[in-house]
C-alpha cells in the first residue's frame, strides 16, 4: 500500500483569532421541533387470512430530519438527523458516500472489512471523521496504515445553519469554500463565532440526535496523540511510544441509513386485526371478519411523538391463489428456472419471491441446489435481485411476515409491483444456481396483497423434465368458493430456442396427501376439453395436457412427466385462475 499524500486530507481550519462578522447573524439557529402528520393514512379493507402491508414512510414528517443515519462506534451508537430541506446538496452528497459504501474498504492485508474512524479531535471544539479507513500496514506489523476515502467531486458550500453544539458540518480546505467532499465534523460546543463566517462559512447539514452527544463527548475525552500524519488522533488503550494500531482507533464499523422515526401501533380489536410494525411498514394480520381502529405512533430520534388513526375492515376472502411454486432440476452451467406470473388489480401488488435450494435436502429432496439466486423482471427489465436473503434490504420485512427462507444461502425479495385494474400485468422470476452446479431448485411466489380487487392470476414455470425428476408445481388456494383452475403441461408448442422440448408431457394433479385427484395425457381426451377450448386456454399441440379443477380450497400439486417413456426435455407448467 502506497504512502498517503500528506496534502490530500481535508483540514478543518479553526481560525479562533478571527472576530465576529455581521454575516454570522444571518445563519439560522434551528430549534428542535416535534414531528407532524404529513399524510392521513387511508381506511382500508383486508381479506381474512392475509397480512396487509401499509407503508408508513410518508405518513409523518419530522421538520428536523429529511433522512437519518446510525453510526455504531467503538464507544457507542450515534444517530444523525439530516436536514435535506436546508442543505439539500450537502445531504445528498453525504448520503451518496453512505449508500455507495465509500466509508468501507476491503483490507487485503487482514482480508477483512476496514471502516471509517475518527481521525481528529480538538476537545471543546470538534471531532472529525469521513476521511480515512482503518487499514493496516502490509509488512505484517499490524500497525495502522490508513486508506483515504475515495472522494467524489467537491460540492457547493451551503452555509445556512449556525455551527452550534451537536450540529454536523462538512470539513473543507482552507481558502476554498466549495471544497468539501467526504469529511465531516461534529461541533462539541457553540462554534458559531468561529465557523459561521470563516472561509465562506461551514455547511451544517444535520444534528446528533437524542443522547448521541454523550458518545461524542466520550470520544473528545480520549487522549490525543501526534503520529505525524494524524497529529490530533484520539486513541483508546494506547501505550506510548508504540505506533497506532486498529485497536487504538475510535472506529465506525456500522454506518447505515435508518428511518427518522420509530413506529408503534395498536388495535382496538386484535381479535379481528392484529397489528405490528416492521421497519417503516405497518403489518395488519386479518384474523376474523369485523372492524378495528388502528392507531399508529411515530416517535422521532429525539423522543417526540405524534399519532394518527385509521379504520380497517376485515372481510371474508373470495377464492383465489395465494401461493404458487414450481420445483425442478436446474442443469449445470448458465441454465435457469423461469417462473412467470400475472397479477391484476391496481395500483400495485405486493409479492415475495423466493429461490429455495439447500433447505430442500431437509425435506428429503436429493441433489438440491447448494446456493441460489433470484431475479425479478417486468416489461421494462430487471426490477430487483437477491443472492442471500438475509443480506437483502427486505430481510426484516420477510422475517416479520413469517416467510423467511430456512437457509442463508437461499434467495428472497419483496416487491411492490405496478398493476392495472383493467388488464393483466406479467412478471418473470429467474432462479439460478450461484456456483453453476446442477441441482433441484424451487421458485415460489407469495401473494401478499390483502385488499379487495387485486389478485394473483397465473403461474407458468419452465424447466427440464427427466426420468425420475418431474417438473412440480405447487398451488395454495384460499377463501370461499374458489375459482376454477386450468392447469396445463406444455411441451412441443414451446419455441425451438428453449432447446429440446418434452415431446409428450403427462400431467397429474395431487392433493395434500399425495393422492391423484385428476390426470391427463393428451388434452383433447379430458372431459373438460370443450370448456378449456372455450376459455381460450387450449394447448397448441395435441400431445400436451390440460385439466380443470373446481371448488377446492386446499393445497394442490401438479406434476409433469414424460408420457409413455418419452425422452427428456424442457416443459412448461401453467396454472390459470379462471373467473
Q: How confident is the model at residue 451 (pLDDT cuts 50, 70, 90)?
A: low
pLDDT value of position 103: 98
Kindly indicate the confidence band of residue 20, based on its pLDDT and cuts at 50, 70 and 90. Answer: very low
Please write the tens of the pLDDT for every residue from 519-547.
999 999 999 999 999 989 999 999 999 99
- Out of 110-119, 185-194, 365-374, pick the least confident: 365-374
Q: Which domains does the chain have, with CATH numbers?
A: 22-30+66-258 (2.40.100.10), 39-61+260-316 (2.60.40.10), 325-461 (2.60.120.380), 466-579 (2.60.120)
- Asked if pLDDT for residue 124 goes beyond 90, the answer is yes
Q: Is the peptide bond before 241 cis (omega within 30 degrees of 0)?
A: yes
Average pLDDT over residues 260-278: 97
Measure the CA–CA gap between 487 and 508, rounded to whole angstroms: 9
**Contact indicator for 475, 558 with CB cutoff of 8 Å:** yes
Q: Cell for 477?
A: 388456494
CA distance 93 to 184: 11
- pTM of the shown model: 0.79
* Coil vs helix vs strand at 376: strand
Count Cα neighbours of 506 within 13 Å in the Cβ-side half-sphere: 14
pLDDT grade for 3, boundaries at 50, 70 and 90? very low
Q: CB under 8 Å to 121, separation ≥6 — which residues?
A: 127, 128, 219, 220, 222, 224, 232, 233, 234
Q: What are the phi and psi torsion angles at 457 (to 5°)?
A: -105, -25
Is the alpha carbon torsion for 192, 198, 204, 208 positive or negative? negative
Q: pLDDT digits over 26-82, tens only? A: 788 888 889 999 999 999 998 888 888 999 999 999 998 999 999 999 999 999 999
How far is residue 246's CA from residue 237's CA, in Å, rounded to a whole number?
Answer: 11
> Quick check: helix, strand or coil at residue 334?
coil
- As beta bridge partners, residue 315 has 47
Question: Which string of DSSP letters, residue by residue, matches 441-506?
Answer: EEEEEEE---STT-EEEEEEEEEEEBTTB-EEEEEEEESBSPPEEEEEEE-TTS-GGG-SBPSSEE
What percentage of the chain carries pLDDT values higher than 90?
A: 62
Cis geometry, peptide bond prior to residue 347 (ω within 30 degrees of 0): yes
pLDDT number for residue 24 = 40
pLDDT at 327: 79
Closest CA to 334 of 441, 443, 437: 437
Higher pLDDT, 293 or 460: 293
Ordered alpha helix ranges (H), 262-366: none
Is it the case that residue 5 has pLDDT exceeding 50? no
Amino acid at each position: 500500500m502506497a504512502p498517503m499524500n500528506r496534502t490530500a486530507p481535508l483540514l478543518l481550519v479553526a481560525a479562533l483569532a478571527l472576530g465576529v462578522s455581521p454575516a454570522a447573524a444571518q445563519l439560522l439557529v434551528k430549534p428542535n421541533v416535534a414531528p407532524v402528520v404529513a399524510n392521513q393514512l387511508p381506511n382500508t379493507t383486508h381479506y381474512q387470512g392475509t397480512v396487509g402491508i401499509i407503508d408508513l414512510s410518508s405518513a409523518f414528517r419530522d421538520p428536523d430530519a429529511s433522512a437519518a443515519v446510525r453510526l455504531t462506534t467503538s464507544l457507542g451508537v450515534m444517530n444523525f438527523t439530516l436536514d435535506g430541506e436546508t442543505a439539500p446538496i450537502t445531504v445528498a452528497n453525504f448520503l451518496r458516500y453512505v449508500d455507495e459504501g465509500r466509508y468501507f474498504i476491503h483490507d487485503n492485508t487482514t482480508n477483512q472489512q476496514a471502516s471509517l474512524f475518527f481521525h481528529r479531535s480538538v476537545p471543546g471544539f470538534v471531532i472529525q471523521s469521513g476521511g480515512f479507513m482503518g487499514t493496516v500496514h502490509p509488512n505484517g506489523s499490524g500497525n495502522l496504515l490508513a486508506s483515504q476515502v475515495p472522494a467524489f467531486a467537491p460540492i457547493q458550500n451551503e452555509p445556512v445553519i449556525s455551527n452550534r453544539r451537536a450540529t454536523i458540518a462538512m470539513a473543507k480546505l482552507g481558502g476554498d469554500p466549495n471544497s468539501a467532499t467526504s469529511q465531516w465534523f461534529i461541533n462539541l460546543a457553540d462554534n458559531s463565532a468561529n465557523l459561521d463566517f470563516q472561509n465562506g462559512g461551514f455547511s451544517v447539514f444535520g444534528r446528533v440526535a437524542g443522547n448521541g452527544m454523550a458518545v461524542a463527548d466520550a470520544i473528545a475525552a480520549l487522549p490525543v496523540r501526534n503520529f505525524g500524519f494524524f497529529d490530533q488522533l484520539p486513541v483508546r488503550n494506547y501505550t506510548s511510544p508504540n505506533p497506532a494500531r486498529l485497536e487504538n482507533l475510535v472506529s465506525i464499523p456500522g454506518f447505515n441509513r435508518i428511518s427518522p422515526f420509530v413506529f408503534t401501533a395498536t388495535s382496538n380489536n386484535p381479535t379481528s386485526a392484529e397489528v405490528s410494525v416492521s421497519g417503516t411498514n405497518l403489518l395488519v394480520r386479518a384474523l376474523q371478519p369485523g372492524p378495528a381502529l388502528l392507531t399508529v405512533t411515530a416517535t422521532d430520534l429525539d423522543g417526540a411523538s405524534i399519532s394518527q388513526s385509521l379504520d380497517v375492515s376485515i372481510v371474508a376472502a373470495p377464492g383465489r391463489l395465494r401461493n404458487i411454486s414450481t420445483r425442478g432440476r436446474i442443469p449445470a452451467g448458465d441454465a435457469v428456472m423461469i417462473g412467470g406470473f400475472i397479477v391484476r388489480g391496481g395500483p400495485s401488488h405486493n409479492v415475495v419471491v423466493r429461490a429455495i435450494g439447500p433447505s430442500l435436502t431437509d425435506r428429503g429432496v436429493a441433489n438440491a441446489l447448494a446456493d441460489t439466486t433470484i431475479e425479478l423482471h417486468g416489461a421494462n427489465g430487471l426490477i430487483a435481485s437477491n443472492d442471500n436473503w438475509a443480506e437483502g434490504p427486505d430481510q426484516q420485512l420477510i422475517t416479520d411476515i413469517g416467510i423467511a427462507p430456512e437457509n442463508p444461502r437461499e434467495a428472497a425479495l419483496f416487491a411492490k409491483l405496478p398493476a392495472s385494474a383493467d388488464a393483466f400485468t406479467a412478471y418473470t422470476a429467474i432462479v439460478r444456481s450461484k456456483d453453476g452446479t446442477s441441482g433441484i431448485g424451487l421458485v415460489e411466489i407469495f401473494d401478499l396483497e390483502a385488499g379487495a380487487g387485486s389478485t394473483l392470476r397465473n403461474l407458468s414455470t419452465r424447466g427440464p423434465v427427466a426420468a425420475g425428476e418431474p417438473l412440480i408445481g405447487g398451488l395454495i388456494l384460499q377463501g370461499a368458493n374458489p375459482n376454477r383452475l386450468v392447469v396445463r403441461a406444455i411441451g412441443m408448442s414451446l419455441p425451438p430456442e428453449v432447446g429440446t422440448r418434452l415431446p409428450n408431457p403427462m400431467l397429474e394433479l395431487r392433493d395434500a396427501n399425495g393422492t391423484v385427484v385428476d390426470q391427463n395425457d393428451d388434452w383433447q381426451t379430458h372431459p373438460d376439453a370443450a370448456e378449456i377450448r372455450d376459455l381460450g386456454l387450449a394447448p397448441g399441440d395435441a400431445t400436451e395436457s390440460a385439466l380443470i379443477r373446481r371448488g377446492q380450497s386446499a393445497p394442490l400439486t401438479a406434476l409433469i412427466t414424460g408420457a409413455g417413456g418419452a425422452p427428456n426435455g424442457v416443459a412448461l407448467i401453467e396454472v390459470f385462475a379462471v373467473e
